[in-house]
Structure 1
Amino acid sequence: MVSYEKMKKIAKFIIRKSLDVKEKDVTLISCGPKSLQFAELLAFEAAQIGAQPTITYGSDKLSLQIYKTIKPKFLKNWPKLADILSKTVDVKIIIDETNPFLARQIPQKKVEIRRKTVKPINDREERRERKKELKTVLIGFPTEEIARAIKIPFEKLNRIFWAAMDINYEKLYEYNKKIIERLKNASEIRIVGEKTDLKFSVKGRKFINACGLVTQKGEIGYLNLPDGEVFCAPVENSVNGEIYFDLPCMWHYGKKVEGVWFRFKNGKLIDYKIENGRKNFEDVFKNASGDKDKIGEFAIGTNPKAQPTGGMIIVDEKVRGTIHLALGHNKHFGGKNDSTIHWDFFKNMEKGRIYVDGNLLMKNGRIR
């Protein structure tokens, strides 16, 4: 396990540097059974600077019991407390320790009903994040259950995760900034590789420096940790061609897919092949709504210590030498897609290339 002192150090960084929590900030911290100690460290740090921390606790065991037994009509009831919190909370910290073995049993149709119900609340929070009225961080958390689900020793997952968390975020900001300089005023991105030749426009779209510093240097009021990527919302109707994702992709740890191939025409997904987990993909995709069949994000991983885990998305998407594209929602960072899903798919670029307006940006996983 990670040492108490390291968790304490990282909690202090998150509160005082990453989120720059201020005196009197209403700070809501959500956690589960495995991450309670870390949540308490975050709450302690927030209290030391005069903020007003509150910890909320939940579990996938309870969620599964509720979703399996609840009548669908109750999922449509307006959540009054969540509505109030979305207007009043200044800082929101979500520690994600999803149990894959329980999450995959939760009925997706019922989850989708609830997503539609709370969507106006989520939309309000996104608007507040864009204005930096609300500062939000999603933090991963390694558990034995996640390790078993993605078939990696827990000790290895734990080591990879905390190494990716404990980096120099100022240096990461500068590294990302150099990439963004190369992308400034770009019109077209082309990705070439195995079973891959994909083009899309980024004209007029801003690339975001995701560097773990949401207020001082961040460009939106939302981040996740570990951090380390440069990303944007491509012009939605401009995506054409095919792309093959050779790294495992997970939906909230519960729905794993591998060997994913997509074909797009004028921004829409028109064909797909999935080597492993087709049913998992369709279970999520067919129950989703809105612009679920459009690319919502293009991103380049930049974290110097992140390593592939084979399924812990919050780490995998940050690995240098990889890219990811997401289907679905992107309104929170400058796009127009409105959907109940945002699903990342990962590609190792060791044998690939990225061109920006015909000029080589990345070859064999390295920025040129």
Structure 2
Amino acid sequence: MDERVREHARTLVDWSARVEAGDDVVVSVEEGAHDLGVAVAEQLGERGANLVATYSSDELTRAYLRAHDGDFDGDPDYERALYERADSVLILKGTNNTAGTADVPDERRAAHASARQGVREARLDTDWVSTQHPTRAMAQQAGMAYEQYRDFVYDATLRDWEGLAEEQARLKGLLGEGSEVRLVADGTDLTMSIAGRTAVNSAASVAYDSHNLPSGEVFTAPEDTEGVVTFDVPMTVRGRRVRDVELTFEDGVVVDIAATQGEDVIRSVVETDAGSRRLGELGIGMNRGIDRVTDNILFDEKMGGTVHLALGRAYDACLPDGESGNDSAVHEDLITTMGEGSRLAVDGETVQEDGVFVWE
């Protein structure tokens, strides 16, 4: 086994999830992440934690959803109970086919997601962390040789997270004290309120209210969105390709959708429920170890010089105690490049210009 796999597992268990002896840990292992699953199991055993492993597969999900009549009964109590009793949930992604669920009808996918919202909420109440094991399918999607892609993944993942957390704290302070953010870029002029919101320093650890490894972003929960935004980073959404998505907002709600490819997919996301018509997240990428787009949201949204906005659910960590943010069965990220001519301003003061922060 590549020693970097073991280092990845140590980082996940110690820095990211902060697992301790006696913790009850659910590990969800996707079909291509077996080696990382073995390394994580070893780390959990050394720390005296309790392990329940589950198996995840796009082919399995496809078979179930395509065979189902689409009339889902609601929350499966047995699965929700598993997460309600867990201290941590570690999600090890590693698909063998990035389009494995591409032919699942959108309405059936949406119905399944809505029926499982209670399960999702229970999982999000744990110290959960999602990470990516490099697979050949992901390398192919990224347009990279397998060995090259493995180097890319570990360069992004095995970092000085403590040092990056200190750098990101500067932006967290600006957003936490600010009231309004404006984004200006090619095809984009968007304003949104962040008044009273908490900005999260997403430094790949639950200690920072961060749940992705790798991470490297600062995010918050916007509202009262106005204007237009163009997402120029190509992505795969629900197993299908989307390009150049343009969304127009009025009174915080999407009122117009256009795209050069995959417009129907974006419409299906927006039409999931009332909350999917609003933004749940504004995230600003700061991980300079991610130097290219790979069509994997876990990496692409963290890349320095990008901003991502998510349709749907807002994270509780960004909200004042007792306040409910945007609620939805979906949380779908879309990314725009902050390149030459772009500007990110907080309360009228420029924080980033041409994709470079004022302090860089």
Structures share fold, TM-score greater than 0.5: yes
1:248 to 234, 239, 256: 234
What letter is aligned with 2:76? P
> In the comparison of the two structures, how many residue pairs are matched?
351
8 Å CA contact retained: 2:32, 2:93: no
Aligned to 1:274: 259
Aligned to 2:249: 264
Q: Deviations over 1:91-115 (max 9, x none)?
A: 1001122432212122322222222
Instruction: Note the residue ranges of structure 2 that are not aligned, 5 or more in a row.
Output: 320-324
Matched, 1:169 2:161: yes
8 Å CA contact retained: 1:325, 1:345: yes
SS of aligned partner of 2:173: helix
Matched, 1:350 2:339: yes
Q: Which moved more, 1:92-101 or 1:263-272?
A: 92-101
1:207 to 199, 210, 227: 199
Q: Deviations over 1:262-292 (max 9, x none)?
A: 1111101111210122233234433x22311
| Separation in 1, partners of 2:47, 2:211 | 22
What letter is aligned with 1:320? G
| Separation in 1, partners of 2:140, 2:2 | 23
| Separation in 2, partners of 1:113, 1:243 | 28
| Separation in 1, partners of 2:135, 2:269 | 24
Matched, 1:72 2:70: yes
Shift in alpha-carbon separation, 1:184–1:340, aligned structure 2, 3 A: closer
SS of aligned partner of 1:76: coil
In the TM superposition, structure 1's runs of 4+ consecutive aligned residues that sit over 6 Å from their partners are none
Shift in alpha-carbon separation, 1:78–1:199, aligned structure 2, 3 A: closer
Q: Deviations over 1:199-235 (max 9, x none)?
A: 11111011000001212xx1x3x5011111000001x
Q: CA deviation at 1:143?
A: 2.1
8 Å CA contact retained: 2:26, 2:51: yes
SS of aligned partner of 2:246: strand
Shift in alpha-carbon separation, 1:77–1:230, aligned structure 2, 3 A: closer
Q: CA deviation at 1:77?
A: 5.4
Give the CA RMSD over aligned residues.
1.8
| Separation in 1, partners of 2:86, 2:263 | 39
| Separation in 1, partners of 2:353, 2:273 | 36
Matched, 1:158 2:150: yes
8 Å CA contact retained: 1:76, 1:114: no
Q: CA deviation at 1:152?
A: 4.0
What letter is aligned with 1:315? F
Q: CA deviation at 1:150?
A: 4.8
Percent identical across equivalent pairs? 26
Shift in alpha-carbon separation, 1:187–1:284, aligned structure 2, 3 A: closer
What letter is aligned with 1:23? A
1:139 to 131, 134, 138: 131
| Separation in 2, partners of 1:156, 1:76 | 45
Aligned to 1:337: 326
What letter is aligned with 1:135? D
Instruction: Note the residue ranges of structure 1 that are not aligned, 5 or more in a row.
Output: 129-133
Matched, 1:6 2:37: no
SS of aligned partner of 2:28: strand
Matched, 1:359 2:349: yes
Q: CA deviation at 1:6?
A: 0.7
| Separation in 2, partners of 1:106, 1:140 | 23
SS of aligned partner of 1:306: coil
| Separation in 1, partners of 2:352, 2:74 | 49
Q: Which moved more, 1:274-283 or 1:290-299?
A: 274-283
Q: CA deviation at 1:78?
A: 4.2
8 Å CA contact retained: 1:307, 1:315: no
Matched, 1:322 2:319: no
TM-score (norm 2): 0.92
What letter is aligned with 2:11? F
TM-score (norm 1): 0.90
Matched, 1:285 2:277: no
Q: Which moved more, 1:266-275 or 1:148-157?
A: 148-157
Aligned to 1:131: none
Aligned to 2:114: 116
SS of aligned partner of 1:291: helix
| Separation in 2, partners of 1:333, 1:66 | 33
2:182 to 157, 167, 190: 190
